[in-house]
Amino acid sequence: MPDPIALPWPSRQGVVSVGDLLARTAAGDTAAFSALYDRVAPAVFGLVRRVLRNPAQSEEVTQEVMLDVWRTATRFNPERGSAHSWILTIAHRRAVDRVRSEQASADRTELAGARAVDVDFDQVADTVTTRLDVEQVRRCLGKLTELQRESVTLAYYNGYTYPEIAERLGAKLPTIKARMRDGLIRLRDCLDPAQGG
Amino acid sequence: MTDPDVHTLAGPYVLDALPAPERTRFEAHLKDCAFCRTEVDELREAAVKLATQVAAPPPPHLKANVMAAIDQVRQLPPQVWGEDAPAERRYSRRSVLALAAAAVAAATAGGVAIDQYRRRSEQTEANQRISAILAQPDARTVHGAVSGGGQATVVTSARANAAVVVLKDLPKLPAQRTWQLWMIDTSQQAHSIGLATGDETQVIDGNVTGKATFGLTIEPAGGSPSPTLPAAALIPLT
């Protein structure tokens, strides 16, 4: 029988990690999956909604993502990154694929990349951890050049392809590709590891 | 690997900003480029941090839906030879098929006979027919709750004019009652497609193409020419 699962989040001490919960999910433990859902669903739903905008579609895609996590938990390879990133990677890919296939480009014309950093603190699980993460990401995004930041955020939050972004920002294709990579490298170096999965 | 440009693609790839053909090409390249894989993994950890900024709690009912739905979704076996694609590369059609296959597997693995009166060879044949329907390129899966308890899953293929119906955890009916299955067309005309005694998986041949809704009703033993309302389940097929 699975152990009772400690409540997620607030203190890091004694809390089961997302990676552990995913490992137990892979063994078919539905209680672990339930706890995993509580841990990751706000990030998944928030991200999907940011990309898709449409609330009904966002719910649908979030459900698909969580079912995919359940179904493919056995395939997660911890050597290639944290469980949290793995889940958000699935979420982002699905949201982006959906926005490209179903939403008219008119829905995405708003240039919202730079403003995407606004977050409603009251709605997010109000924990010190989340706040610190948000502050840190905001600070690190601030260290990017304008073009790096716009390239990264328009792609990540709005689901644009790099040619769409190049056109929108009036830049050359290789420039945008390079800025995305440079921007992410700078972001990585600023964020550094030190956070568990 | 000789193309110097290919390494800059790790950025747009991690941000899911590559147009589909380039994404496919870069993923093929990743298989041969350990350096690129490492870079992708590292940049991905940075990219996903951007999600923390937009976190928002999902509506509470969503969790109930997800927890109910995992019941129908079989987990992949750990490690399959010849399949090294990470999960995030799976596409929705494959998920749908997996879901359908999972539903069927769950029904049969749960000790429910496809048809308890058939011999083994006939059961094998039924399995083959199920597989053939699931393999149709237009196969679609829908689920719905049955009032009173239980779930119905229907996989339809308009092309094959066939369907697989999986009934699970249905409430037990009195002896003089039966479940009856219907396909309802766009003009609300209900066509009977069979009877069911309880939890079972059925292959439906015909009466599928052009139908809008699957219906499940409780009828007197032997079935009725038209459904007794209200229906225990009505599941839109599109």
A160/A154 Cα distance (integer angstroms): 6
Query: What is the least distance, in Å, from the CA of A85 to any CA of chain B?
Result: 6
For the stretch B21-75, pLDDT in tens is 899 999 999 988 888 899 999 999 999 999 988 888 899 999 999 999 998 888 8
Q: Which CATH class is domain A16-116?
A: mainly alpha
Residue A166 near chain B (CB below 8 Å): no
Q: What is the pLDDT of residues A97-151, one digit of tens each?
A: 998 886 554 455 444 443 444 444 444 444 445 667 778 888 899 999 999 999 9
State ipTM. Answer: 0.82
A191 touches chain B (CB under 8 A): yes
Exposed/middle/buried for residue B127 (C-beta within 10 Å: 0-12, 13-18, 19+): middle
If DSSP states are collapsed to H, E and C, what string results for B29-89? HHHHCHHHHHHHHHHHHHHHHHHHHHCCCCCHHHHHHHHHHHCCCCCCCCCCCCCCCCHHH
Residue B4: predicted pLDDT: 59
Choosing among 2.60.120, 3.30.379, 2.60.40, 2.160.20, the CATH entry for B139-236 is 2.60.40
Kindly report, residue by residue over B133-154, the tens digit of the pLDDT. Answer: 777 778 788 888 888 888 888 8
A54-94, pLDDT tens digit by residue? Answer: 889 999 999 999 999 999 999 998 888 899 999 999 999 99
Closest partner CB to A73 (pick from B10, B14, B75): B75
What pLDDT, on a 0 to 100 scale, did the predictor assign at position B65? 92
Say whether residue A67 is in contact with chain B using an 8 A CB cutoff: yes
Q: Which CATH number fits domain A130-196: 1.10.10.10, 3.40.50.720, 3.40.50.970, 1.10.220.150?
A: 1.10.10.10
A64 touching B (Cβ < 8 Å): yes
Beta partners for B191?
B183
| Amino acid at residue number B18 | L
Question: Which of the pair, B200 or A121, is modelled with greater confidence?
Answer: B200
Q: Measured in whole angstroms, how far is the alpha carbon of residue A5 from the centre of its chain?
A: 24
Give the model's confidence band at B103: pLDDT under 50 very low, under 70 low, under 90 confident, else very high: low
Question: Which of B23, B43, B48 is best to mutate for the A interface (most A CBs within 10 A)?
Answer: B48
% of chain A residues with pLDDT over 90? 59
Q: Please report which confidence band the pLDDT of residue A50 belongs to, taking 50, 70 and 90 as the band edges.
A: very high
Q: Per-residue pLDDT for B112 more than 50?
A: no
Q: What is the pLDDT of residue B147?
A: 86
Domains of chain A, residue spans = 16-116, 130-196
Phi, psi angle pair for B178, to nearest 5°? -140, 155
Residue B84 has pLDDT above 80, yes or no: no
Residue B123 CB burial class (10 angstroms; 0-12, 13-18, ≥19): middle
Are A141 and A130 a contacting pair, CB within 8 Å? no
- Per-residue DSSP letter, B183: E
Nearest CA in chain B to A190: B46
Residues of A in contact with B73 (CB under 8 A): 67, 70-71
- pTM higher than the cut 0.80: no
Q: Which residues in chain B are closer than 8 Å to A59, comparing Cβ atoms?
A: 58-59, 62
Q: Does B93 touch chain A (CB under 8 A)?
A: no
Listed by start position, the domains of chain B span: 139-236
- Is A41 in contact with B63 (Cβ distance < 8 A)? yes
State the Cα–Cα distance between residues A81 and A79, nearest whole angstrom. Answer: 6
Chain B, window 27-86: residues with a beta carbon less than 8 angstroms from a chain A beta carbon: 37, 41-59, 62-63, 65-67, 69-70, 73-79, 86
The 10s digit of each residue's pLDDT in B176-197 is 889 999 999 888 889 999 999 8
Residue B164 CA to its chain's centroid (Å)? 11
Q: Hey, are the CB atoms on B90 and A41 less than 8 Å from each other?
A: no
Cβ distance B192 to B223 under 8 Å? Answer: yes
| Chain B CB contacts of A62 below 8 Å | 58, 62
Contact B53, A116 (CB under 8 A): yes
pLDDT of B101 = 58
* Alpha carbons A17 and A36: distance in angstroms, whole number: 9
**C-beta of residue B43 within 8 angstroms of C-beta of residue A185:** yes
Separation in Å, CA of A146 to nearest CA in chain B: 16
Torsion, CA B32, CA B44, CA A85, CA A160, rounded to 10: -110
Question: Does the pLDDT of residue B236 top 80, yes or no?
Answer: yes
Residue with the bigger pLDDT between A167 and B117: it is: A167
Residues of A in contact with B88 (CB under 8 A): 86, 89-90, 93
Q: Which residues of A touch B62 (CB under 8 A)?
A: 41, 45, 59, 62-63
pLDDT, mean of residues A42-48: 93
In this chain, the answer to whether the domains covering A16-116 and A130-196 adopt an identical fold is no
